Structure 1
């Protein structure tokens, strides 16, 4: 086994959802910044990077957000809270940036690679992310995909709900990067979904279409921070070979 593999295996084995944090232990809050910077290196759909990360640092802000997280101990005792936000509404802004990036990556605009990349970001991305008020375009796409899919493999997701799920999945991948990085830094984390997402959105002054993915508490673990031994469904019930 390679040394890097051993290190990663140890991180995976040691990472646990810690629900009580030590208020007196040393805590380098720059580890949070470094971990977020690693989080944004996560794979994501079409490299659109439709995510944002908010660091909740002050005592008063943490107190308010912890209350919005149902006063879970993982939130109340965290040395810092990180709110992961899905920003499907920023797709146009990201698209423009990526079009410019493709021009840089493929200086020969007439090459097949350049034309393929530009067509993807200029034409296909808007068709995928754009949505009308009643999501009729999404319904039409699903119908098109269904009939095309009768003859060949076809992407099936395309309505507003599908796109929301896709953006949340990408943000969750980044969140996992963040938590693994924090473990590598010597600290613990706990992702929380039990929260009043509407109140947190208002507290962070986020636009209507922004969506809270999760709140992550982090810091040095306190005694009793891990509630029980790890339990997982047996591998043979969840891992299959075809």
Structure 2
């Protein structure tokens, strides 16, 4: 096993969801910045990067958001809270940025790679992300995919719920990058779904279509910050070979 794999294995083994943080220990807030920057290097659907990260740092803001997280200790004692937000509503802005990037990467617009990339981002991406109020376009896509799938493999997601799931999955990948990075920096984290997302959206002044994916508490762990030993279902019950 490579030395880098040994280091990574140690980080994975050491990472735990810490519920209580030490208020007196030194905490390098720049580690959060570095870890978010590593987080956004995560793989994501079509490289659309439909995510945002909000650092809750001031004592007043921490107190308010911790209350919105049901006053969990992982939120109340955190030295910072990071709110991970899914932004499916920004797909047009991200699409424009990616089209510009493809034009830079493929200066010869007549080449096959350029045509393929432009067709994907100019033609297919709008068909996937655009939705109407009743999601009739999404229903129509699902019907089309069903019949097209009778002949062979077909990507079958395309309605509003599918898009939301895709955005949340990508944001979760970035969140995991962030948490592993924080552990590598010597700090701990705890992802939380127990929260009042509506109030957090209002506090952050987010638009209606933005969605809070999770809130992550972080800081130096207190001695009693981990509630119990790690438990996992046996590997043979969850890992299979075909």
User: What is aligned with 2:120?
Assistant: 120
Summarize deviations over 1:34-77 as a string: whole Å, max 9, x none.
00000000000000000000000000100000000000000000
How many residue pairs match? The answer is: 242
Find out whether 1:141 has 2:179 as its counterpart.
Answer: no
* Distance in 1, Cα, partners of 2:155 & 2:77: 44
TM-score (ref. length: structure 1): 1.00
Corresponding residue SS for 2:6: helix
User: What is aligned with 1:166?
Assistant: 166
Return structure 1 stretches of 4+ with deviation > 4 angstroms. none
Summarize deviations over 1:143-171 as a string: whole Å, max 9, x none.
00000000010000000000000000000
User: What is aligned with 1:49?
Assistant: 49
> Structure 1 residue 223: deviation in Å?
1.1
User: What is aligned with 1:222?
Assistant: 222
* Distance in 1, Cα, partners of 2:131 & 2:26: 48
User: What is aligned with 1:20?
Assistant: 20
User: What is aligned with 1:183?
Assistant: 183
1:12-161 equivalences under 5 Å are 12-161=12-161
Question: What is the root-mean-square deviation in Å for CA atoms of aligned residues?
Answer: 0.3
Corresponding residue SS for 1:22: coil
Structure 1 residue runs of 5 or longer lacking an equivalent are: none
Corresponding residue SS for 1:113: helix
* Distance in 2, Cα, partners of 1:137 & 1:152: 22
